[in-house]
Amino acid sequence: MSLLHLAIISPLILAIFIPSLHKRAPKIHTGWFLLPLPVLLFGYFLSFLPGVINGEAAMETLSWIPSLGIDFSARVDGLGLLFALLITGIGALVVLYSIYYLSKEKEKLNQFYVYLLLFIGAMLGVVLSDNLIVLYAFWELTSFSSFLLIGYWNYRERSRYGAQKSMLITVFGGFSMLGGIVLLYLMTGTFSVSETIAMAGEIVGHDLFIAVLLCILLGAFTKSAQFPFHIWLPDAMEAPTPVSAYLHSATMVKAGIYLVARLTPVFAYEGLWIWLVAGFGIITLFWGSFSAVKHTDLKGILAYSTVSQLGLIMSLLGLGAAALHYPEFENGFYTVAITAAVFHLLNHATFKGSLFMMVGIVDHETGTRDIRNLGGLMTIMPITFTIAVIGSFSMAGLPPFNGFLSKEMFFTGMLRAQEIGFFNMDTLGILFPIIAWVASVFTFLYSMIIVFKTFTGKFQPEKLKVQKPHEAPIGMLISPIILVSLVVIIGFFPNIVSPLIEAVMASILPTLLAAGMEFDVHIYHWHGFESPELWMTIGVVIAGILLYKFMPRWTGIYTRMPERFSLNSAYDHGLAGIQTGANRFTNAYMTDSIRTYLIYIFAFFVLILGATLITKNAFALDLANVAEIHAFEVVLVVIIAVGSVSILFAKSRMTTIILLGAVGYAISLFYAIFRAPDLALTQLVIETISVALFLLAFYRLPKKWHHERMKFKVSNAIISVGVGLIVTLIALSAHSSKAFESISQYYVENTYTKAAGENMVNVILVDFRSFDTLFEIAVLGIAALGVFTFIKLRMSRGKEQG
Amino acid sequence: MKTNNVILETATRILLFIILVFAIDIFFAGHYYPGGGFIGGLIFAGALVLLLITYDIKTVAKFLPFNYLVVIAVGLLFAVGTGIGGLLFGKAFLTHWFTYVDFPILGKLSLHTAVLFDIGVVLVVIGTAMAIIQTIGESD
């Protein structure tokens, strides 16, 4: 096991020790034991940076199930490294924040940190794994640990609801992704991501290609909360705020982004991929930002804002994939969308993490997150206010913060969409910049709401649960301060991250690079007055300010759409509908009546065999091999037929039993004339015994029993006639199509010489095939024991009667 | 008032042994003529049922003090034991062995381990039939 593997699973290993550490050292906050690990890992992953920037990818393989082609191979390239740095870096900050956020006395810290470590390990596994099956395994572990973290306060009903919802949706996507992975394996014969990418050109035309694409995208969209699967994310806000900050803004929701970016080289040659990724991204962007405005809960706003920003990144990835269609094109014209996506991914993690922590501080210090109750906190919590301003302005895309830069590049990417000359991009592509601009106006709007509704206006202490709110302790402020510092630093000096972005782009668009070439990313603040992006940003600000000023006048549109048409209620009703539907369906066919079940069984029997007979054209009638019919046989057949039919019309049960006995004895006569003396003897005795047992049962019937003829039912008649007909047809066909000679000749020849007997039947029973007999007598013994236990051990019924 | 069953009882005394001899004959003849373990056991059980009809369960239990579930177990042991015998001699499970021996009075006979297996069958059949009939008869 290499150091890299150890680094990936080290959080899982530490998770084993957390409960005992928590127990041994109850005075120390358990989070302190955790903190060194992500810091160390961050340092470790930083050591890969020089190599990755030079275009070298570290690769370590560990055999897991080699016979199935499943190896735990870890690969650190630009994309993986960016995510690994985000996971460990923000992980460390979140752990530090959680130490001050979660109370040592009130919370079950051992559980919380075990879940969190599971999540960190799983997330590192997802982004660094080069094997799709291993990636899937870690992918589900992120879903699972996220489920546990959302439901951390499991005594709350909403937490359980949110956890279940996120579990159902992400696991639904996860399964679909597994299906995609397996189909992909069928096409390529390998689970390795890098080998699959190398084979990308060969599989484009394959029949399964579109199916794989859809399956994988479904996985990515559910995980990354894309429309219409975004509904789990706002409900996941019931989790503790450090969890929301970490999972639901910086890391887990970007797993889908990672997957799309990772597999872009495989699928981007297909126009559908570009349209789906870009289309769903832009819809998510608009819907998320539009929905965020109506919320009054700060975390609700941030949740929808996350949804919308994820949509932004997704749509950029989709449009950037078009770059692969222009290998000879001027470097950077279309790839700017990918640059923007990667850059915004990084920026979003910084400002969204800080905003969540800010909201956590406000919640912690005032007791509420509702913007209707908050206000005027600016002077009380100046540091928190500063964090909120920087984070929100960056999110809104205002200079000089990093959000401005990625927003400008976003507009650039969107504007270039319509210049892509294929897949109808030249005509429908005009929609992209328009929707993007409108969504940015709403983004601006909710960013302003977060800052100004919370921190300015009138201070309303009577509405707060905490009587005297004050600034948070410094420990809680360190993490958001570090994050907003990054926001500012990247904002002013964006080119310090450009080598990393170049490396990431090299792993998203590997085929564009000739040997020794590198992407050349330079991020500028100033595009000049002639660039349309600047005017779009100015337009966003003006429109946003206008909308903010006149908010009460137009927010009525949110109430226009009734709640029951929302996606959430569709989900709720769908879930309830599945349950009631399944319940109704089961109740409809599970009638508890043995009669109904027999109808199913026999009807199925008739249908399946009849259909086989007809479709396989299997019916055959061959009279060449038929023996002569004697008068004696005709008489016996008539007796049996008359007896059987009379049973159906008999009024008394006694008559039925006698008739059944008569049929049985007639059959033993048949055995006699067909020269089976052993069978005839046994049949006679057994028939006698069973008739006696029937009579026994008959005399035990309750006294009030009415003698009634069996009721006639058409369905029963049809099915029974059908069964009889089918069996007859099959018997005739089987007899008519004998494929080979019987093996009975062997027994005839060897009964005396090998088994010293002359009664062939008995020799077969006790010698040639005595193994069957052994178990038949075992069956008899079990039957006897069964009768004995049924009759002797009637304890409960005896007590009831007694 | 107890009915007098003297004719039935007398007839039973004679018939019982005829039936038993017939059952044993059917059983032993099974390897050469129609018959064998199943039918022999059933006829044997039939003789015992005749006893049950003539007398009552307690009387029969007094001079045939068998637990018929044990009889079933012994029968199964016979059958399985015969099979394991084959294994002991390095053959497959349930491999039978036979030889011809000249007995002083009976003449040339074959000895066959299949008979041991058939004894198992007979015991299980007798045990099963009697266990079922007795338990049902005793229950009320």
**How far is Cα A31 from Cα A36, in angstroms, rounded to an integer?**
10
Question: In sequence order, which ranges of A367-473 are alpha helices (DSSP H)?
Answer: 382-396, 402-417, 425-428, 431-448, 454-455
pLDDT confidence of A561, banded at 50, 70, 90?
low
Residue B131 in contact with partner chain A when CB distance is under 8 A: yes
Closest CA to A775 of A688, A783, A560, A340: A783
CB < 8 Å to B125, chain A? 777, 780
- How crowded is the C-beta side of A132, counted as CA atoms within 13 Å? 28
Alpha helices in A550-652 (DSSP H): 551-554, 556-560, 567-589, 594-615, 631-649
For the ranges A98-102, A228-232, A506-510, the lowest mean pLDDT is seen at A506-510
> What is the overall mean pLDDT for chain A?
85
3-state secondary structure B73-120: HHHHHHHHHHHHHHHHCCCCCCCCCEEEEEECCCEEEEEEHHHHHHHH
Q: Give pLDDT, residue A802.
A: 42
d(CA A267, CA A210): 9
In Å, how far is A689's CA from the nearest CA of chain B?
A: 9
**B contacts of A762 (beta carbons < 8 Å):** 30-31, 35-37, 118
> Which whole-number Å values give the CA distances from A397 to A238, A405, A440, in the listed order?
28, 7, 8
Checking if the pLDDT of A70 tops 50, the result is yes
Q: Which residues does chain A have within 8 Å of residue B25's beta carbon, measured at their own beta carbons?
A: none
Q: Tokens for A578? A: 């599945």
pLDDT, mean of residues A38-55: 88
Q: What percentage of chain B's residues is helix, strand, coil (to nearest 5)?
A: 70, 10, 25
How far from A617 is each of A612, A613, A726, A733, CA to CA, in Å?
A: 8, 6, 14, 11
Compute the distance between CA of residue A288 and CA of residue A637 in angstroms, rounded to an integer: 80
pTM above 0.90, yes or no: no
| Gap between the Cα atoms of B98 and B129, Å rounded | 30
Per-position b or e across A396-420, b if 16+ CB within 10 A of its CB:
bbbbebbbbbbbbbbbbbbbbbbeb
Of the listed ranges A49-58, A481-490, B70-79, the one predicted with least confidence: A49-58
pLDDT in tens, A584-640: 999 988 888 888 899 999 999 999 999 998 898 878 887 877 888 888 899 999 999
A31, A99 Cβ separation under 8 angstroms: yes
The residues in B 103-122 lying below 8 A from A, measured between CB atoms, are 110, 112, 114, 117-118, 120-121
Share of chain B above pLDDT 90, in %: 29
Work out the end-to-end distance of chain B between its first and last CA atoms, rounded to an integer number of angstroms: 22
- How close, in Å, is residue B96 to chain A by CA atoms? 7
- Angle value at C-alpha A123, between A119 and A124, nearest 5 degrees: 120
Residue with tokens 């906050």: A29
Give the C-alpha separation, A31 to A95, whole Å.
Answer: 6
Of A737 and B74, the one with more pLDDT: B74
B83–chain A Cβ distance below 8 A for any pair = yes
Cβ of A758 and B132 within 8 Å?
no
Tokens of A652: 């008394």
Cβ distance A762 to B36 less than 8 Å, yes or no, reads yes
In sequence order, which residues have a C-beta less than 8 Å from that of residue A90 and are 6 or more positions away?
A245, A246, A250, A251, A349, A353, A483
Question: Which of B52, B53, B69, B72 to probe by mutation at the A interface, max A CB count within 10 Å?
Answer: B72
Contact A773 B129 (CB under 8 A): no
- How far is residue A779 from each of residues A271, A782, B39, B67, B125, measured CA to CA in Å? 66, 5, 16, 19, 11
Do B114 and A757 lie within an 8 Å CB cutoff? yes
Backbone angles phi and psi of A423, in degrees to 5: 55, 35
Contact (CB<8Å) A761/B93: no
Residue A247 burial (CB < 10 Å; 0-12/13-18/19+)?
Answer: buried
What's the pLDDT at B75?
Answer: 93
pLDDT at A524: 64
Beta bridge partners of B101: B109
CB-based contact A121:A9 (threshold 8 Å): yes
